[in-house]
Structure 1
Amino acid sequence: MLCLQGDAVDAINSNVELTETERIDRLRLIRSDNVGPRTFGSLVDHFGTARAALERLPDLAHRGGASRSGRICTAAEAEAELAASRRLGIAWLAPGENGYPSRLATLDDAPPLLAVRGAVATLMRPMIAIVGSRNASGAGLKFAGQLARELGEAGFVIISGLARGVDQAAHRTSIASGTVAVLAGGHDCIYPPEHGDLLVAILDQNGAAISEMPLGHEPRARDFPRRNRLISGASLGVVVVEAAHRSGSLITARMAAEQGREVFAVPGSPLDPRAAGTNDLIKQGATLVTEAADIINAVQPIMERPLMHPAGEPDSEPFESDPQGHDRDQITGLLGPTPISIDDLVRMSGASPAIVRTVLLELELAGKLERHGGGLVSLL
């Protein structure tokens, strides 16, 4: 068993505790139209509280060109969602609260509230993600299970997406040592449905499940990349066992690299298309894995470093109170359907970062802007 110092110390220092009113306000804000995790963080950093941000949503959307403001979640709706969640044993936790994975909290798009079910202690231990093909080979499934078992014996929790194939193999083999399922839908909308028994086994054996989606939310195609960022974000590193070109597992690996997580890949036969993506990852610099020791040796130095929490540190000057019309026109004119970096917008427009951030926020709340990974934005 490893001496898991880094994450253990961070877990001990997690001492945030929301009041019930604050939890309701946060849920109202993230459930309101056109408010995603990044926008939530910007609004709370600037206005101080979720309650204050809620009051400003209509004005900001109007300034962004919306003919009418989007729907704002009511207190009654938020209270009903929290009550229904509690009946199922689900807690909605904020970054810094006990049970919210400490590494996930460091992301700039960390869920402002995370639906947590199961063993809180398991969620505070260091995690390794194992992902791969849903249509995995027998050898791939066997090796995924072997890695999960050996990493569990070394003290790590295995986190994955409850999908068919490699995910399932990793979860089932690590149930006894600790595993976390990340759901693309609500806690009552398990996908695939036949893995309901697997989730029950995970929860019965001191495992856990997490989701950012409301109860009753059936997962759609666009929800799986959102789920994947939670898998990679909560982990020290992501191991890809088998992945074809353009697979969801490669999206998880890309997100892991963007988040500063370690990326590991298991080599496969060049004749097997299920190994094409993993072999490419190795060519691109991913750590080649043939045994659990390859992963343990790579992440142990990372665990000894303290965690940084940029998501909880507001900018000194995040927004401009009221940008001038010509600034809005110039920034909007530089935007189009092709993603562009915010840094490029600042440079090309000549406007201050505060003005650019404000205009982008207004456009997003008006339903006209889409945010992408890596600080890129585009018009819808």
Structure 2
Amino acid sequence: MDASRLDNLRLIRSAQVGPVTYRQLIVRYGSATKAIEAIPSLAARGGGRPPRLADVAAVSREAERARALGASYVFVGEPDYPALLAEMETAPPALIYRGDLSLAKQRCIALVGARNASAAACRFARMLGQGLAAQGVTVVSGLARGIDTAAHQGSLEGGTIGVIASGIDIVYPPENEALQEQVAMRGLLLAEQPPGTQPLARHFPSRNRIIAGLSLGTVVVEAAPKSGSLITARLAGEAGRDVMAVPGSPLDPRTQGCNQLIREGAILIQSVADILEAVGPIHGAMLRQPVDPFMPGAPVDASDAERRRIVDLLGPVPVQVDELIRQSGIAPALVQTVLLELELAARVERHAGGRVSLQS
């Protein structure tokens, strides 16, 4: 890995630097190298100590470990980075992959659902996966038990993407070891976490956003209320993608989440044809017009009075950034600059849905 890409990796592995902050730093300074140099002064303006920057040697070891595993990196902003995923503000700055990355540039549909799925639902997910793959559609799922496993099994011959919540070298659940290797060899295996990372609970919502972001639409085959599959569906909806669900018996708790999605406006799915109709030619332009994730903008610095005004509006309860802009009357670029400084100073925490809160 060359020095520039190594600095990209070092920036995202540094403390207090998440996906949103990474993008803002690249936009402001033009490169990860310059951003790393600027972080101490930005944190000082935010009223805190500089965050711990990732050690160069540690990042180099990570890159070498990935190479030894037969894995590669792709960074947001690079030509091979999946264009649909790059549209999301929270898209991972770095993805580690094994397999055919071009699969992520084709039409992708996410198939997700319950881990403890019924036999009938697994059979249907397998049929959907097989049917979509036969139509040239890449099937995206999370390599979990149940519906995910069935979706990958059905689409393995035609094209499937497995997104995991662990490092690229970790298998979870253990019984999917052979399937995960098949996905890597015949499809595409993606991970956001560094090699060796175990699949902790906090990593699964992050994994789900990648599944939703890669896909034109998300199909939930079977899901109980408050399940992880519904998080994926919500993230898909927030990203402006189609949300689809397979209806089920009201007597089966495993189908209540799907039925609720349909009540809330999700597209009812009974066949592959229903899915293809939902994500038809209207979405074709999305695949041909990738969005530049680093829209240029001149650096702006806030005054002490503007900084105080924004801090005074913040509290422990998460608030929308748009609401901060409205109530403060300060230009959006200045508000974003102050939030960047505060986050690097460990004084602000970012939440899902473009919300922020003041850390105690």
TM interval, short-chain normalised: over 0.9
Q: Which residue of 1 aligns with 2:46?
A: 64
Three-state SS of the structure 2 residue aligned to 1:103 is helix
1:184 matched to 2:184? The reply is: no
Q: 1:370 aligns with which of 336, 349, 357?
A: 349
Task: Give the drift of 1:70.
Answer: 1.6
**CA distance in structure 2 between the partners assigned to 1:101 and 1:38 by the alignment:** 17
Q: Which residue of 2 aligns with 1:300?
A: 280
Which digits, 9 at most, give the CA deviation of each residue in 1:190-237, with x for residues without a partner? 222221111112223x21101111111112111111010000100111
Three-state SS of the structure 1 residue aligned to 2:280 is helix
Q: Which residue of 2 aligns with 1:351?
A: 330
User: Quick check: 133-142 or 302-311, which moved more?
Assistant: 302-311
Q: Which residue of 2 aligns with 1:269?
A: 249
Residues 99 and 116 of structure 1 are in contact (CA less than 8 Å); yes or no, is this contact kept in structure 2?
Answer: no
Task: Give the drift of 1:268.
Answer: 0.6
Matches within 5 A, 1:249-264: 249-264=229-244
Q: Which residue of 2 aligns with 1:283?
A: 263
Task: Give the drift of 1:71.
Answer: 1.1
Q: 1:134 aligns with which of 83, 91, 115?
A: 115
Task: Give the drift of 1:122.
Answer: 2.5
Residues 117 and 254 of structure 2 are in contact (CA less than 8 Å); yes or no, is this contact kept in structure 1?
Answer: yes
Letter in 2 for 1:257: G
Residues 77 and 292 of structure 2 are in contact (CA less than 8 Å); yes or no, is this contact kept in structure 1?
Answer: no
Which digits, 9 at most, give the CA deviation of each residue in 1:229-264, with x for residues without a partner? 000100111000111111100000000011111110
Judging changes above 3 Å, is the alpha-carbon distance between structure 1 residues 96 and 365 closer, same or farther for their aligned structure 2 residues? closer
Three-state SS of the structure 2 residue aligned to 1:316 is coil
Which digits, 9 at most, give the CA deviation of each residue in 1:170-194, with x for residues without a partner? 0111111111110111112222222
Task: Give the drift of 1:150.
Answer: 0.6
Judging changes above 3 Å, is the alpha-carbon distance between structure 1 residues 43 and 199 closer, same or farther for their aligned structure 2 residues? same
Task: Give the drift of 1:146.
Answer: 0.9
Judging changes above 3 Å, is the alpha-carbon distance between structure 1 residues 102 and 354 closer, same or farther for their aligned structure 2 residues? closer
Three-state SS of the structure 1 residue aligned to 2:232 is helix
**CA distance in structure 2 between the partners assigned to 1:249 and 1:302 by the alignment:** 25
Three-state SS of the structure 1 residue aligned to 2:64 is helix
Q: 1:90 aligns with which of 51, 66, 71?
A: 71
**CA distance in structure 1 between the partners assigned to 2:350 and 2:296 by the alignment:** 19
Three-state SS of the structure 2 residue aligned to 1:180 is strand
Three-state SS of the structure 1 residue aligned to 2:218 is strand
1:207 matched to 2:187? The reply is: yes
Letter in 2 for 1:259: A
Judging changes above 3 Å, is the alpha-carbon distance between structure 1 residues 361 and 311 closer, same or farther for their aligned structure 2 residues? farther
User: Quick check: 100-109 or 360-369, which moved more?
Assistant: 100-109
Residues 186 and 214 of structure 1 are in contact (CA less than 8 Å); yes or no, is this contact kept in structure 2?
Answer: yes
Judging changes above 3 Å, is the alpha-carbon distance between structure 1 residues 98 and 360 closer, same or farther for their aligned structure 2 residues? closer
**CA distance in structure 2 between the partners assigned to 1:29 and 1:296 by the alignment:** 40
Three-state SS of the structure 2 residue aligned to 1:189 is coil
Q: Which residue of 2 aligns with 1:239?
A: 219
Runs of at least 5 residues in structure 2 that lack an aligned partner in the other structure = none
**CA distance in structure 1 between the partners assigned to 2:121 and 2:279 by the alignment:** 23
Q: 1:123 aligns with which of 92, 104, 108?
A: 104
Task: Give the drift of 1:310.
Answer: 4.3
Task: Give the drift of 1:273.
Answer: 1.1
Q: Which residue of 2 aligns with 1:227?
A: 207
Runs of at least 5 residues in structure 1 that lack an aligned partner in the other structure = 1-18
**CA distance in structure 2 between the partners assigned to 1:372 and 1:315 by the alignment:** 25
Q: Which residue of 1 aligns with 2:142?
A: 161
TM-score (norm 2): 0.95
**CA distance in structure 2 between the partners assigned to 1:367 and 1:79 by the alignment:** 26
Q: 1:360 aligns with which of 326, 339, 344?
A: 339
Q: Which residue of 2 aligns with 1:15?
A: none
Judging changes above 3 Å, is the alpha-carbon distance between structure 1 residues 360 and 35 closer, same or farther for their aligned structure 2 residues? same
Three-state SS of the structure 2 residue aligned to 1:228 is helix
Q: Which residue of 2 aligns with 1:146?
A: 127
Letter in 2 for 1:189: I
Residues 129 and 154 of structure 2 are in contact (CA less than 8 Å); yes or no, is this contact kept in structure 1?
Answer: yes
**CA distance in structure 1 between the partners assigned to 2:147 and 2:160 by the alignment:** 14
1:48 matched to 2:27? The reply is: no
Task: Give the drift of 1:65.
Answer: 2.2
- CA-based RMSD of the aligned residues comes to 1.6
Three-state SS of the structure 2 residue aligned to 1:100 is coil
1:20 matched to 2:2? The reply is: yes
User: Quick check: 186-195 or 147-156, which moved more?
Assistant: 186-195
Judging changes above 3 Å, is the alpha-carbon distance between structure 1 residues 146 and 227 closer, same or farther for their aligned structure 2 residues? same
**CA distance in structure 2 between the partners assigned to 1:346 and 1:309 by the alignment:** 28
**CA distance in structure 2 between the partners assigned to 1:347 and 1:46 by the alignment:** 23
Letter in 1 for 2:212: S
